[in-house]
Amino acid sequence: MLTCVTLLFVVLLCGTEAAPTDHPQWRDIDYLVHLREMFYREDIDDDGKLEYTDARQTDLRSDADGDGVVTREEYDADPDLTGYDLDKDLDVIDVNNDGILTHEDTKLAFLLISSDFGNEWSLGEFIQFMTSKTEPPAKDNMTITIKSFARAERNFVVMDIDDDDLVSEDEFTSEYRVADYNRDGVLKDLELRGFRPIRNVPITRYCSDTTVGCKVEDFLKMFKEADINNDAQLDLKEYVVTFGELMDTE
């Protein structure tokens, strides 16, 4: 795979020192969102996992003339590779050092990486590996733990009913109605735990008395605060910043 698998191998080779056991797990949100986009772009069969078959299909897609070699021209012409610099990474991507990019390079890279995570990777595993040998972000960056990001991303996907990669106010309130099991218009106790957006944040931030119950209007305040560009919908970053349990980088 000349996108995510190749870049995974780049990380593998560049990270010559093993990550310490206490390596911080918080990461820059923009970078995590980028890795998430990469993951779904490379998950060709759309099963939520990266597998060798995805890698092989990516090779075939990039090799426009079918000669088994991905040239610079083919690499640059592939819209899914936009933003990646072949000249810059060639020495690392060319695993067998023969000066060209072939399926053998991808196959070897995949075999090396799969020794850590098996033959298929979830989004969380993909992010875990991609960030395991990179330096933590500057402490003034907006960060989150990998675990919290993966959990928030999963909730985001479930709430995104129309699959447009945005959570609208209607989808948000629909999730509230799903959590309101007894249909009394408020969420209490277990119902609150079932409301996806607040699983990772303090409930009292927006609902002061959980014994009485929290109305949808209480959480719409949270939604509106998260909606930075005021378009009545949340992209993943907006969602994660508010509902993803931000971590202190100290």
DSSP symbols for 59-127: HHHH-TT-SSEE-HHHHHH-GGGTT--HHHHHHHH-TT-SSSEEHHHHHHHHHHHHHHHTTEE-HHHHH
Domains of the chain, CATH where assigned: 4-132 (no CATH), 143-243 (1.10.238.10)
Q: What percent of the chain has pLDDT over 90?
A: 20
DSSP 158-209: HH-TT-SS-EEHHHHHHHHHHH-TT-SSEE-THHHHT-GGGTTS-GGGT-S-
Q: What is the mean pLDDT of the chain?
A: 77
- Assign 85 a pLDDT band (cuts: 50, 70, 90): low
Most confident option among 119-128, 161-170, 214-223:
161-170
Give the predicted TM-score (pTM) of the model. 0.73
Which class for 212: exposed (0-12), middle (13-18), buried (19 or more C-beta within 10 A)? exposed
User: Which amino acid is residue 220, in one-letter code?
Assistant: L
